[in-house]
Structure 1
Amino acid sequence: MLKRLGQGVLFILVIILTSALQQHQRSPDLIIDEALERLPLPADPNASPGLLRSGSLQLMANGITLNQLDIDKILNKRREKPSIYLFGQADLGAYIMIAPGVDRRYHLVNSYFDGYMPFRVENPVLALYTVAHRKKYQLDHITYPGRPEVWQSSQQAFFAKVGDCEDHAILVADWLIGLGYDARVVVGDYDGEGHAWVVLFAEGQEFLLETTRKRGLNRLKAFPLARLQTKYHPTFMFNNTDFWQNQGSRFTTDYASSDWVKRSHYVADR
């Protein structure tokens, strides 16, 4: 009787362990689908300029501030609006970029981080995986006819079906920041063509995340080390609070080196 009872307990234990293992090994698609089912949908995120944060930019070199009103005044004096505008001074270098949003206004690039985290994941690879399978890569002039450059905030990027490289990068970086990671968007070029990607600082290393990659992602595979990605040539780097300029070689692969100079600090109003 005790022997049969022991066998029964063992059988129940095997079932529990098997069930737990299956739960742990659930496919990323199933995990994402379940999370999306519980996700509240905004009415129309692409038409809502309120998703963008407002704030002030402080220049690290002299303490001068720049806000959205200052940007509007500067651009109103220009007959032709640039796709992306770089603010700088000869003695200070470049200290911030502004870019046009869905709302047709130009915003400081830091403001496109609106703090949106779709849902919490234990493995950061799942954030990258979700974006890769949820969002299609498409150039802005196709998505927004007559507009060569349009940036989406992280929330806009999550709910918009298409977007280009910076839209993917801002969404992934902001998601990782929400999970407690140090993640930044880098702009420069990939093998000679303008591009944006994400650098993740973790465990004393820098990892490069190609957020427009749609195939070959595996949640059990480690992120690639940034120092080995020599075709990526960084110029600027930013997150939700700061903006850095690369003053070293365009071929640098060390995103934590002294070549990176912090040019400005962004403080959101909310």
Structure 2
Amino acid sequence: MRQLLAFALFGIVLMLPELQQRWHSPPANQALSEHRLAALHREVDSARIQDNQRGTVLIHGSGAPLTEAMVQQAVAKRSEQESSYISVWNWQGLESVTASARGLDKLHHFANSYLVGFQPFETKSLWVPLYTLAIRKEYQYDHLQYAGLADIWQTSRQAYYQKRGDCEDHAILLADWLINLGVDARVALGTHEGQGHAWVVAIVNDTEYLLEATSKRRQSSWQAMPLAALVEGYEVEFQFNRDYFWAKTTSAPTRRYRGSHWIRKSQFIRG
């Protein structure tokens, strides 16, 4: 997810106009073979996925919900390669109401649904999840792990058991685990030094911390975590947790993850 951010506008039937944000640029002229797609299936089998990601999105300002079936029907009209991109959706004239991404099961699911309420083990120390990620999970670009596919998301459970993953896989596991510890934690989507990226913002005692989930530094204290207001190079556009999806209301950069420059666009209802 550390490649240049590009945008493509698609007209979709089902009254579902879509703004698709390409957080990756795929390798040129790289075709998918049956053998490569079979490797993706093996990843699913190895993780023994049981999590229910089905759900409906209730959009603020609209009386009509957006269902996963609608999203999957629209995505099915794309090629295998195109459907691997993260998508940010418009709905009934409302912009950027939610996002979806392709999972290990090859289907698009709402971003919130990847936070499945998983924690590997209990802990009272807030730094333990970040420390665990540093020693357990290797960083690897999706197009290298998934045969040229630009962006494949792992749920928090999958992210713990899969040995490798990229930035959103790290961020999803970290945010979900922190939420279980009672922290207001969110996955942030945007850019880092101009390249598409995902990270975590954690709000503790009314203070915002920016957590680089892919960092392999083994911090042993929450006091060592950086204040979001002081961290340079990160440009956030969207945030989500298990329940809500936020979009920034201005094009101006910000290091604050709360305030009037943010609007809560939608609520995810699981089931």
Aligned to 2:146: 144
Q: AA paired with 1:153?
A: T
Whichever residue aligns with residue 230 of structure 1, its letter is E
| Residue equivalent to 1:30 | none
TM-score by length of 1: 0.79
Q: Measured at CA, do residues 235 and 220 of structure 1 come closer, stay the same or move farther in structure 2, by a change above 3 Å?
A: closer
Judging changes above 3 Å, is the alpha-carbon distance between structure 1 residues 226 and 107 closer, same or farther for their aligned structure 2 residues? same
Q: Could you tell me the percent identity over the aligned residues?
A: 39
1:168 alignment partner, SS class: helix
Report the CA distance between 1:54 and its aligned residue.
Answer: 1.1
Q: Which amino acid aligns with 1:159?
A: Y
Q: Residue 52 and residue 250 in structure 1: after superposition, are their counterparts in 2 closer, same or farther (change >3 A)?
A: farther
Per the alignment, in what secondary structure is the counterpart of residue 226 of structure 2?
coil
Moved more, 128-137 or 218-227: 218-227
Letter in 1 for 2:68: Q
Partners of 2:84 and 2:152 within 8 A in 1: no
Higher RCO structure, 1 or 2 (CA under 8 Å, sep 6+): 2
- Partners of 1:90 and 1:219 in 2: CA distance: 46
1:242 to 244, 247, 267: 244
Larger Rg: 1
Structure 2 runs not aligned, ≥5 long: 1-43
Cα 1:91/1:224, change in 2 over 3 Å: same
Of Structure 1 and Structure 2, which has the larger fraction of its residues in helix?
A: 1
Q: Deviation string for 1:109-159 (max 9, x for gaps)?
A: 111011101111111101110011100000011111131111000000000
| Other-structure match for 2:162 | 160
Confirm or deny: 8 A CA contact 2:184 2:202 kept in the other structure.
yes
Distance 1:226 1:248 in 2: 18
Amino acid at match of 2:184: D
Partner of 2:177: 175
User: Which whole-Å CA distance do the structure 2 matches of 1:152 and 1:130 have between them?
Assistant: 17
The count of aligned residue pairs is 226
5 Å-filtered alignment, 1:118-133, equals 118-133=120-135
1:99·1:108 contact (CA, 8 Å) conserved in 2? yes
Structure 1 residue runs without a partner (length 5+)? 1-42
Alignment CA distance shift 1:268-1:70 (3 Å): same
Which residue is 1:266 aligned to? 268
Query: What SS class does the counterpart of residue 224 from structure 2 fall into?
Result: coil
Give RMSD over aligned pairs: 1.8
Residues in 2 aligned to 1:196 and 1:59: alpha-carbon distance in whole angstroms: 23
- Find the aligned partners of 2:252 and 2:84 in 1 and give their Cα distance: 24
CA distance in 1, matches of 2:120, 2:186: 18
Contact 1:241 1:267 in 2 (8 A): yes
The residue that corresponds to 2:213 in the other structure is 211
Q: Structure 1 residues 47 and 220 mapped into 2: Cα distance closer, same or farther (>3 Å)?
A: closer
How many Å apart are 1:86 and its aligned residue?
1.4
1:46 aligns with 2:47: yes
